[in-house]
Amino acid sequence: MEIRDSVAFVTGANRGLGLAFARELLGRGAKKVYAGIRNPVANSLPGIVPVKVDVTDPASVSTAAAHCGDVTLLINNAGIGRVNAGALDPAVIESACEIFETNFYGMVRVSQAFAPVLLANGGGAIINVLSDATWFARPVLTAYSASKSAAWSFTNALRIELRENGIQVLALHVGFLDTDMAKGLDVKKSDPQQVASRALDALENGSEEVLADAQSNAVKRSLSSDQAYYLDPPDLFV
Ligand SMILES: NC(=O)c1ccc[n+]([C@@H]2O[C@H](COP(=O)([O-])OP(=O)(O)OC[C@H]3O[C@@H](n4cnc5c(N)ncnc54)[C@H](OP(=O)(O)O)[C@@H]3O)[C@@H](O)[C@H]2O)c1
């Protein structure tokens, strides 16, 4: 899909990777970028149109889709993470309920609301922001990883269903990013602007999956080997 002259809707575009996507889209000539955010502020960047949306709230999602009838590219970026003591931490269930509401049901909800908009506009694309955690569950991120695996599965089903309607569905997998979500973690992190740029390059190349950093590449490559990272994680990844 061509970014130039597209009209994008990016969830969670007020900071982190979502804001990087919004900037990158404008830089590549998108006609309009709707920033789907929970608490819109008046002074956003020129070319960015703030739209109030909470992906956990069905009414706000359907109102946003009704308001933004010209969208041709949806980026499901909004996400949350929670750290637990490990897989046996009783709080995993509570964390998973909270995280799934945003990372999984939120993605399903927003995709279902906007797919008819894309179809009415003749096709387009959806980018779903996933993670290397899709394929590798660090115990402290048990609930988060489960939500990204579920979101990956939904993305795969969505791709098959929408492909015949001319809608490209791109899964973005990436390891830690230098954003608020990973603040305080002493790990190697990628620059969100670079990751947004790689994802949009992949979209423009017609790809359906992008591994945006070395870490997600290594995790994916390991899957079919005897030493898949989910069985035998290198220390670096735990
Ligand atoms: N950071 C990482 O290491 C990393 C690695 C791989 C993948 N990812 C994924 O990348 C995506 C972006 O994360 P990030 O690193 O940019 O995190 P971030 O800096 O914490 O930003 C998260 C964004 O999501 C928004 N959001 C959260 N819940 C929402 C809801 N219910 N409705 C609407 N917006 C909501 C936040 O809005 P508020 O400002 O209102 O809270 C914020 O704009 C997520 O899907 C995340 O899982 C992150």
Residue 232 is predicted with a pLDDT of 86
Domains of the chain: 7-237 (3.40.50.720)
Q: CA 100, 92, 139, 186 torsion: positive or negative? A: positive
User: Ligand 1: which of 34, 155, 177, 210 to mutate, most ligand atoms within 8 Å of CB?
Assistant: 177
Q: How confident is the model at residue 51 (pLDDT cuts 50, 70, 90)?
A: very high
The mean pLDDT value for 46-56 works out to 94
Residue 237 is predicted with a pLDDT of 57
State pLDDT tens for residues 178-194.
999 999 889 999 999 99
Pairwise CA distance, residues 68 & 27, whole Å: 21
The mean pLDDT value of the chain amounts to 96
The mean pLDDT value for 112-121 works out to 98
Residue 41 is predicted with a pLDDT of 80
The mean pLDDT value for 57-62 works out to 98
Task: Record the pTM.
Answer: 0.98
Give distance in angstroms: CA of 149 to centre of ligand 1: 16
Q: CA 158, 163, 166, 168 torsion: positive or negative? A: positive
DSSP 207: -
Pairwise CA distance, residues 110 & 135, whole Å: 23
Residue 45 is predicted with a pLDDT of 76
Q: Which atom of ligand 1 is nearest to the CA of 103?
A: 45
Residues with CB under 6 A from ligand 1: 11-12, 14-18, 38-39, 53-56, 77-80, 102, 106, 129, 131, 174, 176-177, 179-182
Give distance in angstroms: CA of 227 to centre of ligand 1: 31
